[in-house]
Every structure is written in structure tokens, then in C-alpha cells.
Amino acid sequence: MAKKRTEILVIGGGPAGLAAAKAASSHGKKVTVIDENPDFGGQIWRAEKRVLSGKAKELLDSLEKNGVEMLASCTCVAALPDKRILALSNGRTFPIAYDKAIIATGARERFIPFPGWTLPGVYGAGGLQALVKGGFDVSGKRIVVAGTGPLLLAVAAYLKKKGGNVLMIAEQAPFHKILGFGMSALRIRGKLAEAWQLRKEIRGIPYRTSSIVTEAHGEYSLTEVSIRSSGQDSRIGCDLLGVGWHLVPDLEVPDLFGCGLSARGVNADRYMRTSVDEVYSAGETNLVGGVERALIEGEIAGLSAAGKRKLARSLHAKWDRLLGFSDRMHETFLSEPSELRKLATDDTIVCRCEDVPFGRIKYFECFNKAKLQTRLGMGSCQGRVCGAACEALFEWDRNSVRPPIVPVRVSELANLKTEND
């Protein structure tokens, strides 16, 4: 495949990536955006049956006008020397050369293992929503939405709208924390209307705080869940469970580039510069903090990469105001994981790719030692699911990544060698 070259390469076409591409292309830069998904917009703007609308469409239209190159179903699998990446699309690899790169890979759900969580019928909360947007018909299905975070409300509202029979939202955080979070969110313009709308949409669905799903039951697929609500145990029959424990940043790509990372995400400065020269990072990759924040960070990153520092600086005040929201979100949700750590039993699978159970890894002192002895994190997902799970269960540091970060055929890697020669 032909080699590609661009001035500004944006990795990830969600709100942050699209905003970055718009800002940079509006200042005359040649921009290329790649995204692993078949459509742009990221998780938050994932469209029903692939038809985008609203802000996402507006941004995409302006990118088209600015002549931005958009490569969907295209994954960054490795960072190569001389400011190039190795991209994978339709099973084929090819390098893309860039002057500056902006990483906007976003976030994913955090999963915490509990007995029965590998049964078909148990999904992530956002995961279930994504599948329904992709056409999964949940009308008439009995659904429990559980875990923690503001996402649960949006997911429950959406599933209800799609005809799902949402039996309950089980939120792990206690009521007083949710209340505090709600009050602080009201100080941000737009959040009040958003909250009011959501409240209307989820009317009739029981919202239980201090509640967790302790076990999923079923022989071949889900039939029942056990719920512990303020210390009281009960079982309810259901067809689907959507359970997610807030979000964690997607750090495989910044890790490939060698960017400095902290527990919260990429360490980027006020101009979204990472520790690596000419590499920027924006949005949830830096800190899980919502779409408004991602849009501003994207714009700052795009302007900085285009050399428009003064314009980037003019956005700092607005950016600072949204910073507090993320802090409060993290303080509210998953601030007390101790109870969750007790859910997994010795035979509960932690690594779903290699079927490594909790009992085999619990005595190790770190991820890598467990990995060497048990194959934890060595399957197809390369620790994307069990890595965050082990952080929550054992406070182990993240597993480091190795390219290629998604499975690539050996013949395709062999092609790369020929290209270098």
C-alpha cells in the first residue's frame, strides 16, 4: 500500500480528535484523522445505524470543507522511528509519516470481575448501549443497569427509549455522594438542563444507591442477578445486565509513543504537549472529564500543533472551569472500591482472554509477575480489560504495552521490513 504523509496526524476521531482536526485544518494545516471504528464521533457520539447528527455532523462537515483526510476502520498499531506510525486497515498495514501527532484515543469502561461476569448476557453498561446503537434489539428485554458513574443514567434512559424493560439502576456510590456531585454539576452551564432531561427520561426506573451486583447467574447465558443494596441481598430475573465501573483512559497509543503517563492519564501541559516532542494529547486520554472538556482540549491541541499558541491560550480560562468537574466526578464514583474487591472468588475469571482466575493471581505482587506465571493479560485484548480490573482489585500498576497493540498477521509485519530496506 502507498505510504502516506501528513502534517498533523490525529489518532482518534471522537470529540477531542475532531475538534483538534478542525482547529488545525482551519489554520491551513494538512490534517489526517484515523479511527479504529467504522465511523467517526467516538463513543459518546456513536450514531444509531451509523447516521450522525448534531454537533458530530457539524464538525465532520467542517472537516470535509477543510479537506481533512479521514481514515475510518484504521488502527495505529505501532510507533515507528522518524515520526511515523504503522497503521492497520482491512488487515493490511502501512506507515503514515507526520510532522506532529495529536493523540485523542479517549476512554473505555472499567470492568471489575465478579462471579458470573463472563456469562453471555453480561455486558458493559456503555457496551450494551453501543451494541444497541449498532442495531441490537432490546425491546421487551428485562435489563439491569449497574456499576457506577453518570453514564448509568444515560444508558438506562437510552435502553428504555429503545423499548427495553429496565428493572433497576444499581449505583455503587452512596446517596450522599451522588447528591453532592449533582449539586456541584449544577454550577456548570448546560448540566442542569441535561440532568432535568435525564430525570424525566428515567422516570419509573428504580435508582438504588449503595447497590452492587454481586453475582450473575445462568447456565449458558444470563437468567438472574444477585444484588446487594445497602447490605440487603436479593435476586432478580433478567435477560441482560449492563455493568460498568466508570471509565479509564485508553493509554496504549500514548504508551507506544513513550509519552509520560500518570494514573489518571497522559501528562499533558496547558498546550496539550506531552513529554514527547511534537506529540500532543487531548480529551479523555488525559483525564476522564466529559465531552465539553474533551472538545476544548482538542481545540487547544489543534491550535498548539498549528503554531497558534496565543489562540490556544485564550481557551485556558474555559478549560480551567471544567477541570473541577472531573475532580468531583472521580471523588464521587468508585471512591470506595473495597467492597468490590471482595466479590471475586478464587474461581472467578479475571483475564477473559486466557481464562486466568482470581485465585491464581491474588498472591502476586505486581501485574508483570502474575503475567509471567499465569498468562494474565497475554491474550487478544492484551490486558485492556484485566489491566484496569487488576488496578482496581490489587492496586497494581498498569501493564506496559508492546507493539503491535492489536493482533496483526506476521506477513503484514514482514512487509514493513521490506519497506524499510
Partner 1 sequence: MAETVTFKIDGTEHETSPGTTVAAAMLNAGVTAFRTSVTGEPRAPLCGMGICFECRVKIDGTENVRSCLEPVREGMESETGG
Distances in Å between the Cα of 160 and the Cα atoms of 32, 37, 236, 287 are 38, 26, 18, 30
Per-residue x/- mask for partner 1, residues 132 to 151, rule CB under 8 A? x-xxxx--------------
| CB of 131 or CB of 416, closer to partner 1 | 131
**Interacting residues of 218 by C-beta distance below 8 A, sequence separation 6+:** 116, 119, 121, 224
Q: Is 38 in the site for partner 1 (CB under 8 A)?
A: yes
Of 197, 221, 345, 400, the one binding partner 1 (CB under 8 A) is 221
Instruction: Among 53, 73, 314, 411, indicate the residue that binds partner 1 (CB under 8 A).
Output: 73
> What minimum distance in Å lies between the beta carbon of 50 and partner 1?
4
CA 144, chain centre distance (Å): 21
Q: Which stretch binds partner 1 (CB under 8 A): 17-25, 169-177, 319-327, 373-381?
A: 373-381
Candidate list 67, 189, 204, 220; residue touching partner 1; CB under 8 A: 220
CB of 355 to partner 1, least distance (A): 4
- Where would I find the beta strands (DSSP E) of 321-389? 349-351, 356-357
Instruction: Give me the least distance between CB of 45 and partner 1, in Å please.
Output: 13
Cα gap 355→215, rounded to integer Å: 18
Buried b (16+ CB within 10 A) or exposed e, 139-156: eebbbbbbbbbbbbbbbb
- Residues in contact with partner 1, counted by CB under 8 A, come to a total of 43
From 20-28, 58-66, 122-130, 270-278, span contacting partner 1 (CB under 8 A): 122-130
CA–CA separation, 32 and 5 (whole Å):
9
Q: For 273, which DSSP code?
A: B
State yes or no: residue 121 binds partner 1 (CB under 8 A): yes
Under the binding rule (CB under 8 A), the answer on residue 122 touching partner 1 is yes
Location of C-alpha cell 509485519: 413
Q: With respect to partner 1, which residue has the nearer C-beta, 49 or 310?
A: 49
Per the DSSP assignment, residues forming a β-bridge with 123 are: 242
| Residues in region 337-366 near partner 1 by CB under 8 A | 352-355
**At 22, which helix (H) or strand (E)?**
helix 15-25
Query: Are 43 and 14 in contact, with CB atoms under 8 Å apart?
Result: yes
How many helices (H) and strands (E) would you count in the chain? 15, 21
Output the nine-digit C-alpha cell for 194: 441535561
Contact with partner 1 (CB under 8 A): which of 1, 3, 28, 50?
50
DSSP labels for 183-211?
A: HHHTTSTTHHHHHHHHHHHTTTS-EESSE
Grid coordinates given for 265: 492519564
Q: How far apart are CA 131 and CA 126, in angstroms?
A: 9
CB of 120 to partner 1, least distance (A): 4
Q: Which one, 51 or 317, has the nearer CB to partner 1?
A: 51
Of 134 and 258, which has the nearer Cβ to partner 1?
A: 134
**49 is a site residue for partner 1 (CB under 8 A):** yes
Least Å distance, CB 408 to partner 1, is: 11
- Pick from 131, 198, 315, 322: which binds partner 1 (CB under 8 A)? 131
Residue ranges binding partner 1 (CB under 8 A):
36-38, 43, 48-51, 73, 91, 108-109, 111, 118, 120-124, 126-132, 134-137, 220-221, 250, 352-355, 379-381, 384-385, 407
